Amino acid sequence: MDKTKKTMIRKTLKDLIEERENLELKSSLSLMDEIIEAVSAFSNTEGGRIIVGVDNAGRIVGVQIGKGTIENLANRIAQNTDPRIHPKISVEEIEGKKIFVIEIKESIDKLIAL
């Protein structure tokens, strides 16, 4: 990825964090139950994003990413929602720290249960 695109992603993420429209901030993956609840809530409304690795004050704290972390996260979300939700999950780097951006689309069903 070129430097211009990385700068644009950082600016967009910082703007999202500051605006907080249709956005949930979670400091770590240890808040998995809250992440899944937010996925369900966003699916039942207009969709949204969850950024993992940013605390509620908007500080970038980062997350540890190991082998299989993204796959495990996607599987936990799918296994704990009915009908299953398969959000887009990406890893971004901001201020030298890695974060997850989970994008949830509005569900046609509108009855996503945990």
What pLDDT score does 28 carry? 95
Place of tokens 């299989």: 68
DSSP string, 33-67: HHHHHHHHHHHTTT-EEEEETB-TT--B------T
What pLDDT score does 13 carry? 65
Q: In CATH, what number does 3-104 get?
A: 3.30.950.30
| CA neighbours closer than 13 Å in the CB half-sphere of residue 78 | 10
Tens-level pLDDT at each residue, the chain (114 residues)? 455 444 445 556 666 666 666 899 999 999 999 999 999 999 988 899 999 999 988 889 999 998 999 999 999 999 998 888 999 999 998 889 999 999 999 887 655 555
Collapsed DSSP state (helix, strand, coil) of residue 13: helix
What pLDDT score does 78 carry? 94
What pLDDT score does 108 carry? 78
